[in-house]
Structure 1
Amino acid sequence: MEVQLFARHAKGVELTREGETIFPYIQQALGCIDKAEQQLQELKQLEGGHVTIGGSDSTFKHFVLPSIQRFQVRYPNIHIRLQHGSTPQIIEKLDNGSIDFGFVHLPVQARHVETQPFLSISSLFVVGEQNRELAGRPLLLEEVLDYPLITFSRTSSSTQFLHRLFERQGVHVQPDIEVGSVELLIECVKLGMGVAFVTKDFVLRELKKGELIPLEMKEPIEQRTIGIVKGAAVIVSC
């Protein structure tokens, strides 16, 4: 069925009754297209939109926030969202699309994502004043187990790294106390509840004040890597 939308006459062209009926819908559709083109242009020039980043609270606090702050200063119109999670949770959030990219401890087993190194970190064993006698000489890993061992949850990358460290020496390790935050781990150690394994940057203030005491180990503890994990189509610049 053909419908005439325009009528021609000597003074030009005007809408027919049918044309006037559908014109508001066409006008609305064109407005949506214009708005979409504008938003795409803003995103292309980083003048608008939002980005959602995943990571642990400690990783954000000690390593990532300075980079986010520089990004915020450079692109003030980009809305930034931070989502908390462990490394497995960050991978899951990336899979379900709730984050654009995340910061995790490498390596990760997921092959469907891309990773790139961000920075290297050091880990160490620490004790409180009540266990200062441990700090007098280089220790074997087995000697640490003579004291209660304080770690993060067994699913954390730090604890998994610790297990691999002991396994290379043929030793099975079972933490005595598992905590969910750096703050709680620090308090447990300061109270003399045992030996803790922790990222050095997380406890620099306590080490400087003498509230925590680092242990010297005979076996070297290699550095770990924090990396950026993202989907193949996501480009990240830090």
Structure 2
Amino acid sequence: MIAIADKTVTNLQSKEAIAGVITIGAAETVMFDHVIQAISKLQRDYPNVTITLISGSTTDLLARLNQGELDFLFALDFTQKASYDYLDFPDADVRGVFINRHHPLASEPAITAEQLTQYPVAISRQSSFNDSLVEELGLKASQLNIRMKYNLIGNARMYPLVDDQLLLVGIAGVINAPELLFKPFTPENISTGTMIWKHTPFLTPLHEEFIHYLENELPIK
């Protein structure tokens, strides 16, 4: 609570200079590049702005936003927008699987729901991601041979490197490893992105500027 209060005072005292700390929680996604671009331009114009970035799943970070530990949260497939102020991103991520180059499905252009049930799977522990994935592919969770549930995919990416049968469910672009191939699902399955923040009667000038820069960075759909 003391840390939150200190950060609030710092931001409120910086109305003229636009200085202070912005704390952002974020899921792993290539869409976050828009946020990084906005941050870079904001800091170019206001060099006394500092960013604290905390990576994690929406499930893990939402409580921290509600408690005031985060100023903003970039969430995937967020369904509780009525409870927050938010900014939807116009682009989307493609879901699929990362597999070893020696996997039996390595020559397939895309992965079907039936193929997903035929091999061991590592998948996000985020329930909203998994529920929508299973529903859109026409599966039941009980049909999947889940060997691992991960919070962040960074460490999980090592699993298909040592198990050439494993399907690592994820989003295109979040892993860059020459030993792994990405195969999208068919039919196409996507994740949408939303920047959310708590309802408030006012925003600090710092937060207003961040939202302004982010809006300018997003592509027009």
Secondary structure of the residue aligned to 2:15 is helix
Pair 1:137–1:43, CA change in 2 (3 A)? closer
Structure ranking higher on relative contact order (CA contacts 8 Å, 6+ apart): 2
Q: CA deviation at 1:62?
A: 5.5
Pair 1:186–1:78, CA change in 2 (3 A)? same
- Retained in 1: the 8 A contact 2:93–2:190? yes
Q: CA deviation at 1:76?
A: 0.8
Q: CA deviation at 1:86?
A: 2.0
Q: CA deviation at 1:87?
A: 0.9
Pair 1:69–1:109, CA change in 2 (3 A)? same
**Is 2:196 aligned against 1:229?**
yes
Cα separation, 2, equivalents of 1:104 and 1:52: 14
Q: CA deviation at 1:88?
A: 2.6
Q: CA deviation at 1:105?
A: 0.9
How many residue pairs get matched?
Answer: 193
TM-score normalised per structure 2: 0.72
Cα separation, 2, equivalents of 1:136 and 1:60: 24
Q: CA deviation at 1:53?
A: 1.4
Equivalent in the alignment of 1:53: 24
> 1:20-169 alignment to 2 at 5 Å?
42-46=14-18, 48-56=19-27, 58-59=28-29, 63=33, 64-109=35-80, 111-118=82-89, 119-136=91-108, 139-153=111-125, 155=126, 157-166=128-137, 168-169=138-139
Secondary structure of the residue aligned to 2:136 is helix
Pair 1:214–1:135, CA change in 2 (3 A)? farther
Q: CA deviation at 1:70?
A: 2.3
- Retained in 2: the 8 A contact 1:148–1:194? yes
Give the counterpart of 1:220 among 177, 183, 187: 187
- Retained in 2: the 8 A contact 1:59–1:103? no
CA deviation profile, 1:111-135 (whole Å, cap 9, x unmatched): 3212221342111123112314453
TM-score normalised per structure 1: 0.67
Cα separation, 1, equivalents of 2:108 and 2:132: 25
Cα separation, 2, equivalents of 1:81 and 1:162: 31
Cα separation, 1, equivalents of 2:77 and 2:184: 25
Unpaired segments ≥5 residues, structure 1: 1-35
Structure with the higher fraction of residues in strand conformation? 2
Pair 1:75–1:169, CA change in 2 (3 A)? same
The one-letter code sitting in structure 2 at the alignment partner of 1:74 is D
Cα separation, 2, equivalents of 1:143 and 1:60: 26
- Retained in 1: the 8 A contact 2:134–2:140? no
**Is 2:174 aligned against 1:202?**
yes
